[in-house]
Structure 1
Amino acid sequence: NPVSALTIAQLRAIYEGKITNWKDVGGKDAKIVVVSREEGSGMRDCFGSKVTEDIKTDALFYDSNGAIKTKVSSEPNAIGFLSLGYAEGLKTVALDGVNPTIESCKNGKYPVVRRLYLLTRQIPTGEVKAFLDFCRSEEGQKIVAEQGYVPIAK
């Protein structure tokens, strides 16, 4: 589909079922296939807080980023949302004029971003502390970036 940019208002209208054809947002005359994460997922919660919680009932719901990627990559008229690390090989869409890149997510300019946290029940020790230290290390953050995610700002 030739659409490479949407406004948040257009994206909201698509997911709420108010815009149902790509031609209404500058694309070809084709029904939009709406793809979403299932209720209760972190991605869905983020999308709900930034775009809309009112996702139309005939949307296709999936339980993983991988399943969304598979569906969107195989359906030319689909639109979906997933973690940036899964976007490789897919056409991404600018929102409000901002492309989803590591830099635009890191600096907060891309409008649909969520932070991920590693939590422990108590002050970490032993292997748990070693793992968390590795995650925060230069080597750990290099892996984060290689996987398409946004590394921790130092």
Structure 2
Amino acid sequence: MRLIVRFLPVVCGLLWSTACARGGAGSSPAANVVLAGSTSVQPFAERWAELYADGAGLGQVTVPAGGSTAGIRAEREGTAHLDMSSRALAADEATGLHAITVARDGIAVMVHATNPLRALSLAQLRAIYTGEIRSWRTLGGVDAPVTVITREDGSGTRDAFEHLVLTAGQSVDAHALVTAYSGGLRKMVAEDPHAIGDVTFSQVDERVRALAIEGVMPSEVTIASGAYRLLRPFLFVSRGEVSGAARRFLDFVLSPRGQ
């Protein structure tokens, strides 16, 4: 996994929801913690959960996904201890909720491994996703239609991508293909020589190829430095004060070992 993570002690004083606030789930050291939300954050939360259980033996952490918006809804409804979000909270969502950055991620724009294209400007990327550019020939490639693949509404990746790339009033082209999972999107791009898609940086592997945006390739170095433009936070979101099992897990995530 190639997510860029940083230890952020300055925000550790934020209040967080507790397992106790969900009917006493945090009242014993062996209590379970339930996370819900972003499929982009999910692989890292699962790894944190694995290390936490192996190192501390303090109970099970389960990590169902479903998307950032679904996770925020689950947090409000009290069906999860912590929400995983791959985007910042909207103004109408933030009331009564607290968010803490547990990692930072780059959104990679990827194409098929055989695509000769190496880089895009933000203006070109915007034109592709809004449907203004529909052929690879316009970008110096083959005379073939561009297959735009994006995430579903409610996805934190899609929300962050639209915020970072599109301008006010613009939306992703209605002809774009839509998928519910980052891994599924990568698979679709890997199988279509004319496809382009956007995913969390951790999903880029030898089956696809990331493009430079504004002359900068996504990498651990460029994401950490902020040189790569398509950046977003990975958040845990909660309501109320943290304690019990949820607090212990969050402390582990923010610890040097967790980071």
TM bin (shorter chain): 0.7 to 0.9
Aligned to 1:136: 254
Please give the alpha-carbon distance, in whole angstroms, between the structure 1 residues aligned to 2:125 and 2:238: 36
Q: Secondary structure at the match of 1:82?
A: strand
Aligned to 1:115: 233
Match status 1:12 vs 2:109: no
For residue 83 of structure 1, report the CA deviation from its aligned partner: 0.5
Q: Which has the higher helix share?
A: 1
Match of 2:210 among 92, 100, 103: 92
1:45-76 per-residue CA deviation (whole Å, 9 max, x = no partner) reads 11111112411111101111011111011111
Is 1:13–1:19's contact at 8 Å kept on the other side of the alignment? yes
Match status 1:73 vs 2:190: yes
Aligned to 1:106: 224
For residue 85 of structure 1, report the CA deviation from its aligned partner: 1.0
User: Can you give the 5+ residue segments of structure 1 that lack an aligned partner in the other structure?
Assistant: 142-154
For residue 39 of structure 1, report the CA deviation from its aligned partner: 1.4
Q: Which deviates more, 31-40 or 120-129?
A: 120-129
* TM-score, normalisation: structure 2: 0.52
Q: Secondary structure at the match of 2:210?
A: coil
Match of 1:45 among 156, 159, 162: 159
For residue 20 of structure 1, report the CA deviation from its aligned partner: 1.1
Aligned to 1:126: 244
Letter in 1 for 2:124: Q
RMSD: 1.3
Aligned to 1:31: 145
Give the percent of matched residue pairs that are identical in Structure 1 and Structure 2: 37
* TM-score, normalisation: structure 1: 0.86
Q: Secondary structure at the match of 1:79?
A: strand
Please give the alpha-carbon distance, in whole angstroms, between the structure 1 residues aligned to 2:130 and 2:237: 34
1:84-125 per-residue CA deviation (whole Å, 9 max, x = no partner) reads 111122200000001011221222221111101112222321
Q: Which runs of 4+ in 1 moved over 3 A?
A: none
Letter in 2 for 1:86: Q
User: Can you give the 5+ residue segments of structure 2 that lack an aligned partner in the other structure?
Assistant: 1-114
Please give the alpha-carbon distance, in whole angstroms, between the structure 2 residues aligned to 1:26 and 1:110: 24
Aligned to 1:152: none
Letter in 2 for 1:114: R
Aligned to 2:177: 60
Is 1:2–1:28's contact at 8 Å kept on the other side of the alignment? no
For residue 138 of structure 1, report the CA deviation from its aligned partner: 2.5
Letter in 1 for 2:212: A
Structure label with greater radius of gyration: 2
For residue 38 of structure 1, report the CA deviation from its aligned partner: 1.1
Q: Secondary structure at the match of 1:71?
A: helix
